Structure 1
Amino acid sequence: MHLRVLITCLLFLAPDLKASEAQSGERTTLLFAGSSSMYWNDLPREVAKLVDGKITGHLGGTVIPEAVGRSGSDIRVYLEPGFSRYEYGVKPGQTFLSKLADEKPDIVPLMVVCRFIMGDDPPKEGQPDHALAVTKYCEAVRASGGEPMFYEMGWGKDEKHEAGRKRILELALKNKIRLFAPCSSAWARVHAEKPGLALQHPQDNSHPGDAGHFLNLACFYAALTGDSPVGRLPRTFHVWPHGKYEADEAKLASFKPDAYQAKMAKWMFKHMATDATATLDEDTARYLETTAWETWQRVQRLLAAGG
C-alpha cells in the first residue's frame, strides 16, 4: 500500500513540461518570488545545490537559482499599478509578470504566507488580495511554459496560522498545484511534538533559525525530487549570522559573490560574506528530515485526491 501511494504521488507530481530538454542536459531555472523568509540563508541557492540534477521531470538539468521581490512585502504588491519598488530580481522597467513572460523560468516557487492569506494586511484600493494575486501568478507562470510551486510559509503557532495553512491548501487545490513545499505545516508538527526544539533563533523571531532552515530545505528537497530527504542533507550547512553584529570588513572586501548572490541587494553581502555554517546532530537532523518527508507525503496525498 505504501509503495502504491508513493507511486501515485510521484506520477501526480511529475511536471509534463520541457522533459525532453531536461533529459538532454538543459538548465532548469528555479525562480523564487517572495521576501525575507524566502532569501534568508540564501535559501534559493541552497535549495538549488541540493536538488541539482534531481528535480522530477527535469532529471539531468543543471538547476539555476534566482529570486525576485523585496523585503517585508506580500507578493501581491507586484500587482499594484505602477509598482516598481523591487529590491532584487528585475531589470530596469521590468515587472514580475513581464519577467515571467520574457525569461520563461521552469519552476516558480511562490511564497504563500499564512498571515497574508488570512487578511492581516487589507489590500489597498486597486490591489487584489493575496489569494487572487497568487492565482494570477500561477496563470502567468503556466502561460510562460513554467510550473508554479507553493512555498507554504508561516512560523507562528496560533490558530490563525492553522487556518492559514488550510486556506493555502485550498488555494493549491484550486490552482492544481503539484509542487508544494509544506514548510509551515512541518514547523507546526515540530512545535507540537518537540516544543523544546527551537526552529527560530532567540535573537530573530521573524526568520528561520538554523534548525528551521534545515527543515525548510528538507521540505523543498521532498517537493522537488519526490524522494525522501532522510539522510540526504549535509549536517553542516550554510547559514547567515543571527542578531545584530558588525560586518567583518576584511571578509566583506574580499567577498566574491556567486551568480545568484550577485543579483541580490548589496546590503545582503554583509551576511553572505561571513561564510557562516551551522551543524545539527544526527538525531535532530534525521527527525527534521523525517518530519519534512512525512508532512510532504500527507499534503501530496491530499493534492492528488483533490482535497
Structure 2
Amino acid sequence: MEKRYNKELQERTRAYVEAGTSQAELSRRLGMNNSSSLSRWLNSSYNGDVEKIEKALEEYFRAQEAAEEIAEKAAPYRPAVDYVPTSISEDVFQSIRYCQLHRCVTVLHGDAGVGKTKGAEKFLRENPSSTVYISMTPSTASLNGVCRALAKALKIGGKHNRMDMMEEVRTRLAGTNKVVIVDEAQHLKLPAIEELRSLSDPDIATGTPGNGVCLIGNSEVYDRIRGKAQAEFAQIFTRVKMPRQYRSSRITKEDVRSLFPAVNDEKELAVLLGVARSVYSIRTAQDIYMKAVELNDTSCEGLRRVAKALQVNPAL
C-alpha cells in the first residue's frame, strides 16, 4: 500500500528549514535519533511510520505558533532592549570587574531573581574573551563537575581525569587576567570551592599572578564560607574580598519603572514594586505582569488577580 504524505506539511517544513533551522536541529527538537528520517520523509521516501513523524511536526508547529503569538502580544509591553540596567545588576557588573582587576575571590550573594545573573550575563557579553562563565546545578557541582565545566568553557579536549584537566585549565588561564564567574554557586561542594579558590593564587615558582574568581548564588554559599570556626573554610574566607549581598528590598522604584516601561499608572507600578521587593523578587513580578498581558488586563486589579491566583503576596 502506497504511503500518503501531507504535502502541505512537507512544504511548511521545507520553508522552516530554509528559514534557518537545519534538518539536524529540527530532528533533535522532534526527538529523532538522526536527520535522515526527516530527510526521507521530506522526499516522500520514508520507510517508517509516516503518521508518527507528521504528528510530531504538527505538534511542534502548534507550539511554535502559540509561542510566537504570545511573544507578539507581549512585545509592546517589554523593554526595547534585552538588558535593562538596574541598581543591583549594575552593582554585580562592577563587582565582577573589581574581582577581575584585583585577581581575588569574591562572593556576590542574596535573594533569587534580583538581577545577579543579569549582571553576570552583561559582563560576559561585553567581555567574552576575558571571561570564563560556568553555571552549576546539583548534578555538576562536585569537583569533577567543576573541572569538566571549566574544561568545556575553555574548549579543552582530550583530558580524561581532573588532574590533567585542571593542569590545562591553569595553563590556559596563566597570565591572561581572565575572570572566572561561577553562577548558582550555592550548589558547590567544598572540594570544588577549594579548587576554584586556588585559581586566584599566584604561581610561587614563576611569580605569575592568579585569576579572579567570582562566586554568584544565594546567601547559602556565603554563609558556609563565612563560618570562620570551621577550619575547612578558613583559607577560602580569608581570601574573599569585597563580598556583596543583594536583597530584594533594595530594588528601587526606578528599577521597576525601567523593567516595565509600558506601566504608567502609579497604582499598577506599586503592585509590581511590592512583589519585586518581597521574597518573590523581580522575576516573579515579571511573570505576573506578562500573565496579565496574556489575559488582556494589566490594570491594578488585573495584576492583583494574577498575583492572587499564583498565590503570590495576595495582600497586595
Hey, which of these two has a bigger chunk of strand by percent? 1
Judge same fold: TM > 0.5, yes or no: no
Q: Tell me the TM-score range normalised by the shorter chain.
A: 0.3 to 0.5
TM-score (norm 2): 0.32
TM-score (norm 1): 0.32
